[in-house]
């Protein structure tokens, strides 16, 4: 997977395709990542957004930080998922969306 630690000179993980992870089942989340348009955009749809949008946004952002993803559009369709599930779904979507040669 592309990162700044490989021998090909990659500076960060680059999202090159749209990818999905997760389900719309209760207590789960679907995360879509796509190439960004110059920065990070995180959009959240959730029945508990009023109470938990800050926490969801933080979980997504910290996971993207761990992969050094800076140019991405993320759509989160939450159905009451726990923090660990949100992080796992973001990670899975990022892994599916990166350029494997970099």
pLDDT tens digit string along 58-78? 999 999 999 999 999 999 999
> Which residues of the chain fall short of a pLDDT of 50?
1-8
Cα–Cα distance measured from residue 24 to residue 78, given in angstroms and rounded to the nearest whole number: 8
pLDDT of residue 3: 44
Q: What structural domains does the chain harbor?
A: 19-97 (3.30.230.10)
Residue 68 phi, psi dihedral angles, 5° rounding: 60, 40
Cα–Cα distance measured from residue 70 to residue 3, given in angstroms and rounded to the nearest whole number: 12
Distance of CA 87 to the CA centre of its chain: 8
């Amino acid at each position: 997977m592309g990162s700044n630690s490989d021998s090909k000179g990659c500076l960060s993980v680059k999202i090159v395709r749209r990818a999905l992870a997760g389900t719309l089942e209760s207590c789960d989340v679907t995360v879509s990542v796509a190439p960004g348009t110059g920065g990070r955009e995180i959009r959240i749809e959730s029945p508990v957004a009023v109470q938990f949008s800050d926490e969801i946004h933080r979980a997504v952002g910290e996971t993207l930080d761990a992969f050094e993803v800076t140019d991405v559009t993320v759509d989160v369709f939450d159905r009451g998922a726990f923090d660990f599930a949100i992080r796992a779904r973001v990670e899975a979507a990022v892994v599916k969306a990166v350029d494997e040669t970099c």
